[in-house]
Chains A and B, each alone.
Chain A
Amino acid sequence: MRNVYVVGVGITSFSRLEFPISEIAAYPAMMALQDAGNPKIDHLYVSNMGGGRVNGQTALASAVVDTLSLTPIGAETIENGPASGSSAIKTGFMAVASGLCDTVMVAGAERMREVNNLEATDFVATLTHPLAEYIYGVTLPSLAGMFTRLYMEKYGVTSRHLAMVAVKNHANAMLNPFAHLHQPITIEGILDSPEALTNNPIVADPLRFFDMCPVSDGGACVILACEEVARKVKRPLVRLAGVGQATDTHCVHERENPTDLLAVRGAAAQAMKMAGIKPSDVSVAELHDAFTILEIAESEEVGFFKKGEGHLALERGETALGGKIPINPSGGLKGKGHPVGATGIGQAHEIVTQLRGEAKKRQVKNAKIGLTTNFGGFGNNVVSLVFKRED
């Protein structure tokens, strides 16, 4: 296998974007091309989940490759639920590592705000089991609510811990110009004040409004290349050093221990093994906090903390900017936003920016190794990536 490097990155604001989905993918791709000094691209991989259903645009990669005037190179669309972005990066990694391509572009896009929130939630809910979950009204927030209740009973996590994740990630998002939510929040405002139930209503008990990520439009892009190309690009050298992926039962109820996220554990362990590192070597992480509880649970499953102790590390400030292992300096899905098909590439964008030392006010000091975890379904398809600064 050849080494694979990230030579260019680009991103849009995650918010509401009134552009065709193909342009939401193409804009960050142009930024990434400029960032990398306009290398010749061999293949294009486009990640997206809902183009066909939400935007009436199927075969998105065919539209994007032409929008970017990259024809006749090969291009395909990659759909793996909310983990589509990292799956596309994995595909690009395989193309370069195998020697099939020297340079590939991986662009992701989602435009969910073309429909209302209920339709967007229902669109994402179509990833659940059609007969054993979906027909009952099961949505991702409801699966997260049921998971949270178990986590609280078993490990002593409280609504206050969940609110601390939200407050931290909103504060980080304030430092990220691309983030969806630029809205500082306080524990007082969302939990303790007389207005808290109005400000922060219960949505999927025990989860409340501020425990959920927003519905976002957005796009992001990374350009991957072999060492020979990467050495010629005048940018700090960041290697995609580890790629891991694992799956779990389609129905959440079939999991032996319903508070385990075995696919997160498996994907992260594989990615770290390939990169030759252990959890304590990681200097910064972007985890999939579509719901606040997931940041806590994933911080345990990837190995930063013992199972059931993630909320204690959060209390001690270890996951804050400036803490022992800063998690979601970008604001995470909670603050930065969650355009599902682009989310994994957005995470990679943040880690590369951090490892290059270009994250400005949200820069993690001496960031040398970064980890992402991108969660498709309710933990049934998870991709984890490890990046290393190498020069």
Chain B
Amino acid sequence: MTDYLLRGGRVVDPAGGQDRRADVLVSGGVVTAVGERLGGSGATVLDCTGAVVAPGLVDLHAHLREPGREDEETIATGSAAAAAGGYTALCAMPNTDPVADNAAVVEKVWALGAQVGLVDVVPAGALTRGRRGEEMADLGEMARCAAGVRLFTDDGAALSDSLLARRVMEYLVAFDAIYAEHCEDEALVAGGHMHEGERSVALGLAGRPSEAEFLIAARDIALARLTRCRLHLLHVSAAETVELVRRAKAEGLRVTAEATPHHLALTDAALASYDTNAKVNPPLRTERDRAALVAGVADGTIDAIATDHAPHALQEKESEFTLAPAGIVGLETALSLTLTTLVAPGLLTLRDALERLSTAPARILGLEGHGGPIEPGRPANLTVFDPAATWVVEPQRLHSRSVNTPFAGWELSGVVRHTLLRGRPTVRDGELVTEVMV
């Protein structure tokens, strides 16, 4: 196995508490030395001049669409997109076809991810069979199988039945697993297409009110208190939800939360011309909500920035707004959006950005080898990016099989130069290393 010397970069490592100029020597898939002017005879030099060397990014929330919608994304293309975006691990959502509600499906996803080998694909399992919200999925079997599922969710919709939600939470305690919720009350959002407010009324689109989110979030926090289950709130979008999480944490509950780059960067103003690429659930909300999310990410109330990468077929997104599916691809823009919209204007330090994009999600998922610290003996899961370099988002040039991004044409700061998964470059000098089977 080739040794690599990452030379001339700035190591920013939230878990190890480092931010310094240092070279990183990688040998046999692990970090063997971190320090100034390292020798490393025989090692291949990866130029990191002017770049940040960080722990590989970890995404808590990605839809890879396989099995079922391989026309939109596959584990191979999604992994390629992830590596290109600087990720070394991601949590694959279970709303596939068939649904990942049993050990066979999650093991298959896990094995396919390992076979592609561009990123650690960590499958999430469904809470209920078929995501129908009627009976428990094979929770224990998924937790105990080779894939070792740690996060369970019916993402796409909330679990409506409060009693079943309680029972699932109680049961998951046995495995110290996470109950993760897409917080939107089904009845309150039925038929809705965007945030309910002045803009939805003006555009003549039925709304999905913030209340739909924070009512479910409040219920789940109450149930987490009752059951002592770990709770993770997916893609928080409303100011009130941020406040609920803040209070739950102050109380000492085991509640974590994530926000997406699109909710941190955009508001419902993005829908003014019925751009279906900005249609997403939960919906883009108001500037007040966006500001509260940013503040929540900055003060740690929101633990992680997660993509909710949701590829959709072009012909489905290019239809009438009310018929178009909701979702945004995010794996290749998350880092740059975070740097451009949060770090550059001084809303978030670079260290905290990397904590939210890598260290915290790795900790939540219990991924030992990810999220840093960047220290001798640790698996070399690393991302090297040039924070000052800019690029323009051209959807057709992304590695994802789908192009549904509202950021087309945006100029973003932050270009991934190298990504290393256990010491092996998956991206080198900005190019994906392994030609994936597409």
Physical interaction between A and B: no
Q: What residues of chain A have their CB less than 8 Å away from a CB belonging to chain B? A: none
Q: What residues of chain B have their CB less than 8 Å away from a CB belonging to chain A? A: none
